[in-house]
């Protein structure tokens, strides 16, 4: 939507909430949160700008500018802020459904969280916003912007809300902290694989929101008689094609079909060297996935997610024999494939 506005000559103001992030938007949360450090916020900001550059025109100041709300909040005095807060009543703020649910569950609401809509609403005044495009969960906060603009004699902004999609597990909206999302920075294989792990009942939503697949085709794929796996394959291809190109989408579809439908071990699996000899399954898994905890690897093996040469390994303590020069095909989880090459390292002298 923002890109279309740019192509029509409108200025997109990309607001980094470096001040409000210190408070944290309570939307969608049942409890309080730990605010990120300033270093984390700077890192997030760099990532946001890099990613948005894949969609928006970011090198033309006529249609794009980056603002930070610390520009005005860091210099606003207490008296001015209390004047803004005086425009609202606690009853109106506490009417938010997430606050009500938290209270009914016996949870606490911090005052800074309750005042968050005041902060976000005033941003619209400082920006002189005439249109804001946000997720539907931000409607309450942005409505505060309309209220403040009207009180300042400004024309209140138009609010366009977009659909919020549930994350991969189907239990919560996509969130970096929950790890249930597909990122624009994901590689084509990871993006394709994540899409294929989506719950069947969410495929239609994702096709409608994240792809250019025509509505008639979506109805055919997801309507009565449609095959969920076929719909998911089309979603995965469409996502990769949109972000990585048609050639990458075809390659990943072929790889997926070969690996999962025809159960062929992928020829491009990364090669990993290991010392020949006996080794416990858990120790081998730790070599292949050094960033994982041993507890998580132990659970993976216990759940049947670790196999060697097509045979599932039943326990983390099972001893495997690695023969020098004999390649072993190892699979970890749904998408982890490794060609383990037992090889002696170093030299010896007699």
Range with the poorest average pLDDT among 71-80, 86-95, 163-172: 86-95
Encoding tokens for residue 178? Answer: 């929950």
d(CA 117, CA 93): 8
pLDDT (average), residues 132-160: 93
E strand segments, 43-113: 64-68
Using 50, 70 and 90 to split pLDDT, how confident is the model at 182? very high
pLDDT at res. 30 = 47
Encoding tokens for residue 139? Answer: 């409607």
Largest CA distance in the chain: 91
Q: Is the per-residue pLDDT at 232 higher than 80?
A: yes
- CB-based contact 165:206 (threshold 8 Å): yes
pLDDT (average), residues 182-206: 92
Please enumerate in sequence order all residues whose Cβ is within 8 A of that of 7, keeping only pairs 6 or more positions apart, or say none: none
Percentage of the residues of the chain whose pLDDT score is greater than 90: 45
pLDDT at res. 26 = 52
- CB-based contact 326:342 (threshold 8 Å): yes
Using 50, 70 and 90 to split pLDDT, how confident is the model at 85? confident
pLDDT (average), residues 317-330: 89
What are the contacts of 33-37 at 24+ separation with CB within 8 A?
A: none
Rg (CA), the chain: 26
- DSSP letter string, 169-180: TSSSB--TTTT-
Q: Which residues pair with 16 in a beta bridge?
A: 68
Q: Which residues pair with 280 in a beta bridge?
A: 319
Encoding tokens for residue 321? Answer: 């024999």
DSSP character for 168?
T
Average pLDDT, the chain: 87
pLDDT at res. 132 = 95
- CB-based contact 13:127 (threshold 8 Å): yes
pLDDT (average), residues 167-189: 87
Please enumerate in sequence order all residues whose Cβ is within 8 A of that of 285, keeping only pairs 6 or more positions apart, or say none: 292, 297, 300, 301, 306, 316, 332
The b/e string for 275-298 (b: 16+ C-beta within 10 A; e otherwise) is ebeebebbbbbbebbeeeeeeebb
pLDDT at res. 25 = 53
Please tell me whether the overall predicted TM-score, pTM, comes out greater than 0.85 for this model.
Answer: no
Please enumerate in sequence order all residues whose Cβ is within 8 A of that of 174, keeping only pairs 6 or more positions apart, or say none: 165, 166, 167, 168, 180, 181, 182
- CB-based contact 218:204 (threshold 8 Å): yes
Q: Is the per-residue pLDDT at 54 higher than 70?
A: yes
Helices 246-256 and 228-244, axial angle in degrees (round to 10): 140
d(CA 188, CA 240): 6
- CB-based contact 344:324 (threshold 8 Å): yes
Helices 203-210 and 228-244, axial angle in degrees (round to 10): 30
């Amino acid at each position: 939507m923002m890109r279309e506005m740019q192509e029509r000559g409108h200025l997109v103001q990309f607001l980094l909430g470096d001040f409000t992030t210190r408070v944290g938007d309570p939307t969608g949360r049942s409890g309080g949160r730990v605010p990120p450090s300033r270093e984390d916020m700077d890192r997030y900001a760099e990532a946001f700008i890099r990613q948005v550059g894949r969609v928006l025109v970011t090198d033309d100041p006529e249609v794009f500018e980056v603002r930070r709300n610390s520009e005005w909040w860091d210099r606003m005095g207490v008296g001015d802020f209390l004047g803004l807060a005086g425009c609202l009543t606690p009853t109106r703020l506490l009417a938010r459904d997430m606050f009500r649910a938290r209270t009914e569950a016996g949870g606490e609401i911090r005052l800074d969280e309750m005042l968050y809509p005041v902060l976000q609403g005033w941003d619209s005044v400082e920006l002189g916003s005439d249109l804001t495009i946000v997720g539907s969960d931000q409607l309450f906060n942005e409505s505060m912007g309309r209220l403040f603009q009207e009180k300042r004699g400004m024309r209140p902004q138009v609010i366009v809300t977009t659909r919020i999609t549930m994350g991969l597990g189907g239990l919560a909206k996509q969130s970096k902290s929950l790890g249930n999302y597909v990122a624009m920075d994901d590689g084509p294989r990871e993006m394709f694989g994540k899409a294929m792990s989506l719950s069947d009942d969410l495929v239609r939503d994702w096709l409608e929101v994240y792809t250019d697949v025509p509505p008639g085709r979506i109805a055919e794929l997801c309507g009565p008689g449609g095959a969920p796996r076929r719909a998911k394959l089309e979603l995965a291809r469409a996502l990769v094609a949109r972000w990585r190109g048609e050639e990458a989408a075809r390659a990943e579809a072929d790889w997926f079909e070969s690996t999962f439908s025809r159960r062929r071990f992928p020829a491009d699996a990364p090669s990993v060297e290991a010392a020949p000899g006996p080794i416990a399954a858990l120790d081998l898994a730790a070599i292949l996935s050094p960033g994982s905890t041993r507890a998580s690897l132990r659970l993976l093996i216990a759940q049947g997610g670790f196999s060697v040469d097509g045979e599932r390994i039943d326990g983390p303590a099972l001893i495997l024999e690695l023969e020098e020069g004999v390649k072993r095909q190892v699979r970890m989880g749904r998408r982890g494939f490794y060609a383990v090459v037992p090889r002696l390292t170093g030299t010896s002298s007699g």
